[in-house]
Structure 1
């Protein structure tokens, strides 16, 4: 009898021709005592990403599944990880975008073992190195000490975003799909990194493994981090999206978390208003929307 898929690796890629091969190689090199699958969502890349992804699919047809939408999903206001999670067969979801990669072949096994031991925890993560200008740096991204521990949901919510490196996250699939059933429209448009972290941790906290098992690639051409730094419009849209989804999550999730959402919303709003070089009128408009 064929064993069931335990882990689904969900990878979003778009114009990652310089990086996607390293990402996929780090997936297929995982050493586990269970079956896993790789699902790659190529969001209408215009470079050679699609050809590279399809090459791997031909080489590993039983391991890799490729999703090729007819139109760019992001441009339609949808979040790709919503579709990826629904497509996944595994009990657990491991996330990694096509420009990041893993550096340990035991990452999946370690995280599955952790979640199997800690049934009350729905999500776990670890620190990541940061790659900037081809230099690997330890910027302590996702680092919270040298010991295993469970970090509470309020810490995740209050951080506003960036609490866990995306390429480090593994979570139980059902901690997402239960919400997809009750709020499909909202989550199809708002399943961003921070949403994934909050949904995974709001019940039992977030399991922290003190190992550097992944690399976050930052500030390269076409990346989110580069666009965020260079474009005021990008930062404004990102802030407005943050307000929308966190105000909604505050209402969807249990009321005992409300205070922490207010903290995150207030902190983020004040920081943005004080630091961003936009007109007083624009700042007033954003502040009015917050209030």
Structure 2
């Protein structure tokens, strides 16, 4: 009988031929004494991405690390959804591990003991559902400094209310390991694909079933130079409306337990959208986006782009 993996590593990728090898190698060098499956979902890449993946899979001779490849025959992108969201959902549904780790195809891990440390932590702390770490940012093949990240110089622990109060996940997607609770709780991914961002609702759901912990260590690198923002095909008003709908889902899913905090966030968004529409001032738009770039998953480049293209 096939031994089920303890960890499922989900990698979603599209046209990442310049980065995918680094991503996969960061997973293959993990020093572990348990089984893992590496689920790679390629969203019908048009470059050499799939060939690189197949080559690395063929070279792997570690019996503790197996691959499951999901090469979509056509691109699943839909203008209604965040690019890559349907690919992500498809991969998540395949995950058989007790734990799930995430790493996009253009990001990579830099700690060969990442999985071991995180599995040990969750095994030793059953009241935690998710853990992650600090992360580095890479742009144009160079590590850059980010003032926001540099200020985060300590361990972080959050519950659901604290997560909502900050409304900024101190954990990047590429750093996380979490319990695979989705079958047990009967979670449907139907609504998830409509959300304007993926990490906030995913981490919030997990925080309902346990606390969130961040190691005070750097375990991964986020590639900031890749264009994958929701702003490429969506207007500010559409993003904000989808964000409001996402908060409605979070409110309903938590059975109104955090209604006060969620309604406050929705009121804040509505008031500022109304203010921007009334003033039609590019400076105010810029300040609004800058203030909310984390919650809207915007880079500084996105903020500038949207401000310049704001129709007065």
Q: Name the TM-score class by shorter chain.
A: 0.7 to 0.9
The question of whether the paired residues in 2 share the 8 Å contact of 1:127 and 1:142 is answered with no
Which deviates further from its counterpart, 232-241 or 49-58?
232-241
Alignment of 1:95-106 (within 5 A): 95-106=102-113
* TM-score of the aligned structures, taking structure 2 as reference length: 0.77
The answer for the alignment partner of 1:26 in structure 2 is 26
Q: Deviations over 1:225-257 (max 9, x none)?
A: xx74xx583544433322222211211213222
| Cα distance between partner residues in 2 of 1:23 and 1:247 | 35
Contact 1:143–1:210 (8 Å) recurs in 2: no
Asked if structure 1 preserves the Cα contact closer than 8 Å seen for 2:89 and 2:189, the reply is: no
More divergent stretch after superposition (124-133 vs 237-246): 237-246
Given candidates 183, 194, 213, the residue that maps to 1:177 is: 183
**Normalized per residue, which structure has more helix?**
1
Match of 1:146 in 2: 154
Structure 1 unaligned blocks of 5 or more: 284-291
SS at 2:225 equivalent: coil
Residues 141 and 165, structure 1, Cα contact 8 Å, conserved in 2: no
Q: Normalising by structure 1, what TM-score?
A: 0.82
Give the distance between the partners of 1:271 and 1:113, measured in 2 at CA.
44
Given that residues 16 and 98 in structure 1 are in contact (C-alpha distance below 8 angstroms), is that contact kept between their aligned partners in structure 2? yes
Alignment RMSD (CA, Å):
2.9
Alignment match of 1:117 (pick from 108, 121, 124)? 124
Deviation at 1:111, TM superposition (A): 0.5
The secondary structure found in structure 2 opposite 1:214 is strand
Runs of 4+ in structure 1 deviating by more than 6 angstroms, as ranges, are 275-278
In structure 2, relative to structure 1, the CA distance for the partners of 1:39 and 1:118 (3 Å cut) is same
1:243 counterpart residue number: 244
How far apart are the structure 1 equivalents of 2:222 and 2:5? 27
Deviates more, 1:267-276 or 1:247-256: 267-276
Which residues of structure 2 form unaligned runs of 5+?
286-312
C-alpha contact (below 8 Å) 1:95/1:166 kept by paired residues: yes
Name the structure 2 match of 1:233: 234
- Residues 195 and 125 of structure 1: CA distance in aligned 2, closer, same or farther (over 3 Å): same
Q: Deviations over 1:26-79 (max 9, x none)?
A: 011100121111100001111111111122222238612110122322327453
Q: Within 5 Å, give how 1:1-291 maps onto structure 2.
A: 3-60=3-60, 63-75=66-78, 77=81, 79-139=86-146, 140-141=148-149, 144-147=152-155, 149-174=156-181, 176-179=182-185, 181-190=186-195, 192-220=198-226, 222-224=227-229, 228=231, 231=232, 233=234, 235-270=236-271
Shift of 1:85: 1.8
